[in-house]
Amino acid sequence: METPLTVSAVARRFGVPPRSISDLFYRRKLSDTVCPVVEGRRMIPLEYLPTVERVMQEVGVLKTAEPAHV
């Protein structure tokens, strides 16, 4: 199992403010069970990143990619 990421690391990966991800946990859009708080930091498993991305897109935190023009 790979080392989980913190909210800050995930925020950097997606280019969003960390608060926008934390708010999704407070609003129960993301799972506290899957991403527990350990020693004051929320641990997000790598396999949960697609869910984080999808939820951020659904609530408008993360814009969906524009389709490529061919």
With a cut of 80, say whether residue 70 has pLDDT above it: no
Q: Which pair of tokens denotes residue 47?
A: 């396999």
**Interval 50-61: pLDDT, tens:** 999 999 999 999
Percent share of the chain, pLDDT over 70: 90
Assess if residue 45 is contained within a domain: yes
Assess if residue 49 is contained within a domain: yes
Domain range enclosing 54: 7-59
Assess if residue 69 is contained within a domain: no
Number of structural domains found in the chain: 1
Which is more confident, 9 or 2?
9
At residue 2 the predicted structure's pLDDT band, cuts being 50, 70 and 90, is confident
Please identify which residue in the block is written with the tokens 């527990």: 36
With a cut of 60, say whether residue 11 has pLDDT above it: yes
**Do residues 42 and 7 touch, judged by C-beta distance below 8 A?**
yes
